[in-house]
Amino acid sequence: KDIDECATGTHNCRADQVCVNLRGSFSCQCPPGYQKRGDQCVDIDECTLPPYCHHRCVNTPGSYYCQCNAGFQLASNNHTCVDINECDANNPCAQQCYNILGSFICQCNPGFELSSDRINCEDTDECRTSSYICQYQCVNEPGKFSCVCPEGYQVVGGRTCQDINECETTNECREDEICWDYHGGFRCYPRNPCQEPYVLTSENRCVCPVSNAICRELPYSVVYKYMSIRSDRTVPSDIFQIQATTIYPNTINTFRIKSGNENGEFYLRQTSAVSAMLVLVKSLSGPREHIVDLEMLTVNSLNYRTSSVLRLTIIVGPYAF
């Protein structure tokens, strides 16, 4: 009967070896994960053998285990590494999360930008990025911005300011007044601007009757006109044309600025025998009102002289738009 030396302890195997009983004998072998080198058992470094692990191999006494790179996890076979979908597992992004192989990237909604940690989102201050984003004033809001306009204007197209025509909507002018809209507001002017000894002959035209002795030293007619210009208009600039309404034969017409040009903002350029152009030569800032009297002197060959005045009210708006 075979004697089991391994069971009886009559073998001479080392402590780090495993005794295996044989028929009529025994064998000293190394445990799994070790190999015999002479009389000793030394650890087998499985990590130097054909790859057992997908990413990283860690050798241990008599064995090994696999590790995965960041963003991956071991599959159930303990060898293969599979991608971790961080966006599904535990969304780390403040707003939008996109999974990529082994990692993830965060993105922000329109109007926000990634902060330095690449995770959180900060509001983009569009008003700070450009001073031309709005025509008048930019108001930053979370994730967006809005443009506002000054009183008398309304926002069009989201960014541009357009004058509100108060004369077509609501105004406080009386029945004996006319409403005149200008850039940024409105003004009320009398429907009958004539002052003694002038009488109203048609809308905005006043005539001094020749039967009145006082009228001999005064312009025959005064016509009232109104116009609006924006503040800080580019100069020089043609702004208003004056023209004779009645042309008499054998007469010479000359034009001049009679009053309202004490600071030299205007220049009157004669363009023909019966017309002249008012030129703005100094930039005007508003809100401001200028009243300029433009006079046409008419002389004939018999030395007959007469004159007519166009009283132009120029309303300068408060802004350049």
Q: What is the pLDDT of residues 28-77, one digit of tens each?
A: 999 999 998 888 899 999 999 887 899 999 999 999 999 999 999 999 99
Give the DSSP letter of residue 48.
G
Rounded to 5 degrees, φ, ψ at 244 are -65, 135
CATH for 177-316?
Answer: 2.60.40.60
Indicate if the alpha-carbon torsion angle 168, 172, 174, 179 is positive or negative. Answer: negative
pLDDT at 300: 86
**Selection from 182, 186, 224 nearest residue 203 by Cα:** 224
Q: Where in the chain is the domain with CATH 2.10.25.10?
A: 1-44, 47-83
pLDDT at 148: 97
pLDDT at 247: 80
Do 45 and 33 contact (CB within 8 A), yes or no?
Answer: no
For the record, the structure tokens of 209 come out as: 């009757």
pLDDT at 226: 97
Residue with tokens 């990237």: 105
Positions of the chain with pLDDT under 50: none
Residue with tokens 């990025």: 129
Please work out, in degrees rounded to the nearest 5, the angle formed at the alpha carbon of residue 123 by the alpha carbons of 119 and 128.
135
pLDDT at 115: 95
pLDDT at 291: 97
pLDDT at 95: 96
CATH for 130-163?
Answer: 2.10.25
| Homologous superfamily of domain range 1-44 | Laminin (2.10.25.10)
Q: Where in the chain is the domain with CATH 2.60.40.60?
A: 177-316
CATH for 47-83?
Answer: 2.10.25.10
